[in-house]
Amino acid sequence: MLVTENLMKEHQLILKYIGLMERYAESALNEFNSFILFEKANDFIVFIDDFADDFHHAKEEDILFRYLDVPGVLTHCNPVPQMLLEHNKAREFVSNMKNSLRTKTLNELVVNMSQYASLLKEHIYKEDNILYPMAERGLSDEAKLSLLKGYATTDNRLNSPDMWCKFEALYTELESSLNV
């Protein structure tokens, strides 16, 4: 029984958005593209808030990490506090993105987008390759079963199929609007 498969699938969509956001940020060196970046930045922020944070990070923080924070589950060092720290750091970058959008400060927007992207890429790498395998090894079948029930509740509450559809479509639209 695997409890990190869906989370890894969610990582893939997050990484796709991050890659595209980096391409938007890089292309904004050109003045016309900076106009497009200002126009589209909010779409990236909505994805990050609704999908990466409310949906994915909430599943980790409210469900998976709680099961891992029980003595005996993680045999080596416990990476959960570091992961939580990185979620909060990511939220800081997003809040800076929102501010720079309000004040129309291109440099600050581009820098915070890039910093968010670097942080999340490293964070996802650590989860996929260190934390999640530790979870699969350390959790009992009983814990995994109730964990999966917790995910199902969150998936229902946030209407997961609709959310996937909406953000797959938005990705396609954002990709076709990138003028490079």
Tell me which residues touch Fe ion (CB under 5 A): 60, 127
CB of 139 to Fe ion, least distance (A): 16
Q: Which is nearer to Fe ion, 24 or 65 (CB)?
A: 65
Cα-based distances in Å from 168 to 9, 51, 171: 13, 11, 5
Q: Which is nearer to Fe ion, 113 or 120 (CB)?
A: 120
Question: In sequence order, which residues have a C-beta less than 8 Å from that of residue 89 and are 6 or more positions away?
Answer: 119
CB of 137 to Fe ion, least distance (A): 18
Q: Which is nearer to Fe ion, 43 or 127 (CB)?
A: 127
Q: Which is nearer to Fe ion, 45 or 64 (CB)?
A: 64
CB of 50 to Fe ion, least distance (A): 15
Neighbours of 1 (CB within 10 A): 10
CB of 11 to Fe ion, least distance (A): 6
